[in-house]
């Protein structure tokens, strides 16, 4: 059994390093974890051929990606997803441009969770640290409830301890339910379902701390608000970053988040 888990861990690491869709599945929720299921299926199918023996017990199902936790007070160590590119003549990173690649995605709401499906519709770009529901509503709406999703890379230019969090704000308006989900590397920083928010609601979620070396680190989010069976256009999620030496969290800088140019993907 220990050897089986070791093999699955090896498969997970290789998929994480090489497959962007696999990393995106870790953000979206239970249904999209197709990479894990395929890897597990291949390993279980090959097991009797490589090591003929009675089948092992099924490995534990992971319902959703875990949250980062700072229970011991120590920053997490995360390896870069990609090396830090050289700087160009304009000061930007060669092959990358500031901002998020974003889409809208249908959601399935249950009493226990919100599942963001893998369908990605209406691609657009966000060039700021804040994601406003108005930007999401302006895209071609799906024929069902939907949220916005975005992916990019946190560009770390200096080694040190970074803090990552999100803030959710909604002005006075009729009650609505909202999903605020932020992922960094293999785990989520926060995954909150705010039910019935109204009357100038604002919340900053607990930050996760990381010791990071220079490089590009995968980061993604899912955000949206709805009332009944209708997506509503009020609400904002802001990415907050604490850089080495900062005394608190601030909205991400203009060059903190980058996305690949078309030839770098």
Q: What is the mean pLDDT of the chain?
A: 81
Go through the chain and tell me how many residues it has: 265
Block residue for tokens 């936790």: 69
The predicted-structure confidence for 213-252, as pLDDT tens digits, reads as follows 999 999 999 999 999 888 988 999 999 999 999 999 999 9
How much is the pLDDT for 218? 97
Q: Measure the CA–CA gap between 138 and 134, rounded to whole angstroms.
A: 6
Between residues 84 and 37, the one the model is more confident about: 84
How much is the pTM?
A: 0.75
Angle between the N-to-C axes of helices 2-18 and 20-28, in degrees from 0 to 180, rounded to the nearest 10: 110
42 has a pLDDT exceeding 50? no
- Alpha carbon dihedral 221, 227, 233, 234, in 10-degree steps, equals -80
Q: How confident is the model at residue 199 (pLDDT cuts 50, 70, 90)?
A: confident
How much is the pLDDT for 71? 65
Between residues 96 and 144, the one the model is more confident about: 96
Q: Measure the CA–CA gap between 107 and 148, rounded to whole angstroms.
A: 10
């Amino acid at each position: 059994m220990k050897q089986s888990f070791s093999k699955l861990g090896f498969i997970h690491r290789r998929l994480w390093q090489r497959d962007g869709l696999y990393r995106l599945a870790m953000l979206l929720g239970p249904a999209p974890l197709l990479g894990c299921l395929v890897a597990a299926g291949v390993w279980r199918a090959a097991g009797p051929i490589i090591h003929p023996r009675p089948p092992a017990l099924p490995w534990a199902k992971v319902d959703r990606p875990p949250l980062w936790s700072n229970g011991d007070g120590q920053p997490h160590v995360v390896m870069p997803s990609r090396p830090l590119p050289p700087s160009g003549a304009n000061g930007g990173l060669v092959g990358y441009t500031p901002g998020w690649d974003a889409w809208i995605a249908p959601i399935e709401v249950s009493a226990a969770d919100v599942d963001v499906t893998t369908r990605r519709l209406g691609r657009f770009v966000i060039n700021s640290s804040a994601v406003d529901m108005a930007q999401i509503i302006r895209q071609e709406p799906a024929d069902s409830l939907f949220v916005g999703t975005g992916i990019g890379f946190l560009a770390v230019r200096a080694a040190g301890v970074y803090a990552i969090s999100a803030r959710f704000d909604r002005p006075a308006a009729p009650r609505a339910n909202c999903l605020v989900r932020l992922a960094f590397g293999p785990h989520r920083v926060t995954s909150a379902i705010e039910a019935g928010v109204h009357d100038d609601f604002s919340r900053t979620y607990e930050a996760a701390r990381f010791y990071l070396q220079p490089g590009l680190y995968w980061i993604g989010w899912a955000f949206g608000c709805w009332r009944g069976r209708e997506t509503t256009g009020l609400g904002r999620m802001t990415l907050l970053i604490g850089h080495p030496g900062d005394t608190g969290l601030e909205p991400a800088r203009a060059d903190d988040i980058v996305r690949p140019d078309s030839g770098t993907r």
